[in-house]
Structure 1
Amino acid sequence: MKLFTSRRNFLSKSSTLLAAGVFLHPIELFSHAKKATFTVGEIMDAFIAQVPGAPFENTVDTLKTGSKTQVVTGIVTTMFATVSVIKKAIELNANFIIVHEPTFYNHLDETEWLENDPVYQFKQELLAKNGIAVWRNHDYVHRLEIDGVQAGVVQQLGWDDYYKQNAVLEIPTSTLEELISHIKAKLEVPAMRYVGDLSQPVSKVLLLPGAIGGRRQIEMAMQEKPDVIIVGESPEWETPEYVRNSNEMGINLSLIVIGHSASEEGGSEFMANWVKTEFPEIPTFHIPSGNSLNII
């Protein structure tokens, strides 16, 4: 599942062009490959350039702290820039954190209402004191030709052979209970919620990580008619209730609710792999942020 053309491939193709007598300016051919350092903005721009229709006029994918001009010493990818993740980044001498979700407790990362709050102040000061830039990559990674989050989750689940670049997968038939056990093991989730009959055979999967909204989940289920819908989360009065009503009618449809963070963490690992491919000079680490909610 090759989504990007690496700089190494670019150099190989460039060599072929030179051999054929096609002249490329030396700066164009070698400047990127020979660079010893890169800025936050250069890395952001390199990723955004591979997204169809980008850059977007309206997006939450902005720098939350730091500057686009600062030189990157190391990169950490994660779902949430938790205090623990920030401290680990400091230990690793990584001054650029790429997150998928908000840093300051709301979708737009608005902070005016938090200015006098000690929790916000502590986190903001920790980032500022250590010169850490935080970039949210949510809209762009989802809008790649192949959704980067979905691709990352598919890889985590070991379903690459069944993935056809969309949300529907035909996996080997198992029971719903066996499928839940597989997901728990692969994503390291201790428990998850479900609707349906645990003995139901399932093979056609509608995989929708994160929280795309109950209506969209239901509309896609209506269109695709899967055996099971796998989501990150959904309000209980929406998709879970629709699936329960389907069961009450005698329709064999199941729902697995993984939890938002675990359902999309694979996307952050996808980002780490992208950086390692495109910018191998930069020390890059994927640090799962884990779930803030415990189970008792």
Structure 2
Amino acid sequence: MINLSPAFAKENNWSVKKQWTVQEIMDFVLKEGGLTPLKETVDMIKIGKADQVVTGIISTMFPTIAIIEEAAKRNANFIIAHEPSFYNHNDKSDWVKNNAVLKKKQDLLDKHKMVIWRFHDYCHSLKPDAVSYGVAKKANWLSYYKTGDVMLKIPAVTLQNLVSHLKKSLGISHVRVIGDMQQSCERIALLPGAWGGPMQVSTAEKEKPDVLIVGELSEWETAEYIRDARSFGQKISLIILGHAVSEEPGMEWFAEWLQPKLPDVKITHLASGDPFTWL
């Protein structure tokens, strides 16, 4: 009989496949990312056990039902998701009383013995920020990107061509736009995700970009500010990509970053996709 014990393998310089628990991987990500544990954060295990042995990792934006079922098919029991699992920022199960959909989702996760870790605050704390870097990488803008800076200066392009480029490079079927499609765009404010009206408007006021690119917004805040700014003659445009699709490149890049560091664990990025059908 061949001796396949770990000690024998180590003695003969054979690679030993390591088993990782959820907690070990979480600790590993923080260590490799140079991240200090946060005292107040939403980045916690949302369901499942920290001591569970990981059979595979899925990175995604939202842990949708389709993502959970696909993870189970791939024998991956650890989902690292950027956004909430249960429809509210803190994933409170009593956010809406007697939520039947939430209960069914919890039951499905329990059935597959799935663990979900939200990776939001830490994701944005990486150097560079995984989301903005991932978007810049996918848009082929890394040569214009500076870590920690929301502003990019790209070669001048019309708003129409900029929209076409973003749709094609990021794989987005539809975007919403306020502006003159023939306007020349060079100074870009890149704010993927949901930065909120105050940050979006303050960035526009401070940086005076040609175009503000956001994931989502409150229509009665930033959109109305842009409309009024244009009425006063300011040459500023707005592109709304959509929340999920605007930050998905970040979780895609996170998987690319993590996989070489964890060769013993299969890591797959699955896009949760745009929840909307455009008619």
| TM-score for the superposition, normalised by structure 2 | 0.90
Quote how far apart the aligned CAs of 1:70 are: 1.0
Retained in 1: the 8 A contact 2:35–2:126? no
Retained in 2: the 8 A contact 1:114–1:120? no
The question of 1:225 aligning with 2:208 is answered yes
Quote how far apart the aligned CAs of 1:114 are: 5.4
Q: How does 1:67-106 map to 2 (within 5 A)?
A: 67-106=49-88
Task: Point out the more displaced range, 156-165 or 89-98.
Answer: 156-165
Q: Structure 2: which amino acid aligns with 1:200?
A: Q
Q: Which residue pairs with 2:19 in the alignment?
A: 37
The CA distance in 2 between the partners of 1:198 and 1:76, in whole Å, is: 38
3-state SS of 2:188 partner: strand
The CA distance in 1 between the partners of 2:81 and 2:87, in whole Å, is: 13
Quote how far apart the aligned CAs of 1:116 are: 3.7
Q: Which residue pairs with 1:107 in the alignment?
A: 89
The question of 1:270 aligning with 2:253 is answered yes
The question of 1:152 aligning with 2:142 is answered no
Quote how far apart the aligned CAs of 1:52 are: 6.0
Task: Point out the more displaced range, 44-53 or 74-83.
Answer: 44-53
Report the aligned-residue RMSD. 1.5
Q: How does 1:57-72 map to 2 (within 5 A)?
A: 57-72=39-54
3-state SS of 2:189 partner: strand
The question of 1:117 aligning with 2:99 is answered yes
3-state SS of 1:237 partner: helix
> Which ranges of structure 1 fall in alignment gaps of 5 or more residues?
1-32
Q: Structure 1: which amino acid aligns with 2:278?
A: I
> Structure 1 residues 73 and 116 mapped into 2: Cα distance closer, same or farther (>3 Å)?
same
> Structure 1 residues 113 and 252 mapped into 2: Cα distance closer, same or farther (>3 Å)?
closer
Quote how far apart the aligned CAs of 1:145 are: 2.6
Listed one character per residue, the Cα deviations across residues 144-186 of structure 1 (whole Å, up to 9, x for unaligned) are 2321111111111111111111211111111001000111111
Retained in 1: the 8 A contact 2:35–2:122? no
Listed one character per residue, the Cα deviations across residues 215-254 of structure 1 (whole Å, up to 9, x for unaligned) are 1111112221111110001111221111111111111111
Q: Structure 1: which amino acid aligns with 2:234?
A: I
The question of 1:236 aligning with 2:233 is answered no
| TM-score for the superposition, normalised by structure 1 | 0.85
Task: Point out the more displaced range, 130-139 or 240-249.
Answer: 240-249
Quote how far apart the aligned CAs of 1:274 are: 2.1
3-state SS of 2:220 partner: coil
Retained in 2: the 8 A contact 1:52–1:143? no
The question of 1:136 aligning with 2:121 is answered no
3-state SS of 2:80 partner: strand
Retained in 2: the 8 A contact 1:100–1:138? yes
> Which ranges of structure 2 fall in alignment gaps of 5 or more residues?
1-14
The CA distance in 2 between the partners of 1:208 and 1:294, in whole Å, is: 23
Alignment identity in percent? Answer: 45
Retained in 1: the 8 A contact 2:88–2:95? no
The CA distance in 2 between the partners of 1:51 and 1:276, in whole Å, is: 13
Task: Point out the more displaced range, 116-125 or 148-157.
Answer: 116-125
The question of 1:258 aligning with 2:241 is answered yes
Listed one character per residue, the Cα deviations across residues 91-132 of structure 1 (whole Å, up to 9, x for unaligned) are 100000000000011110001355743322221111111111
The CA distance in 2 between the partners of 1:132 and 1:108, in whole Å, is: 19
Aligned residues: 264
The question of 1:196 aligning with 2:151 is answered no
Q: Which residue pairs with 1:216 in the alignment?
A: 199
Listed one character per residue, the Cα deviations across residues 242-281 of structure 1 (whole Å, up to 9, x for unaligned) are 1111111111111100010011001110221122021021
Retained in 2: the 8 A contact 1:50–1:144? no
Task: Point out the more displaced range, 180-189 or 133-142.
Answer: 180-189
Retained in 2: the 8 A contact 1:115–1:121? no
The CA distance in 2 between the partners of 1:199 and 1:295, in whole Å, is: 24
Quote how far apart the aligned CAs of 1:34 are: 5.3
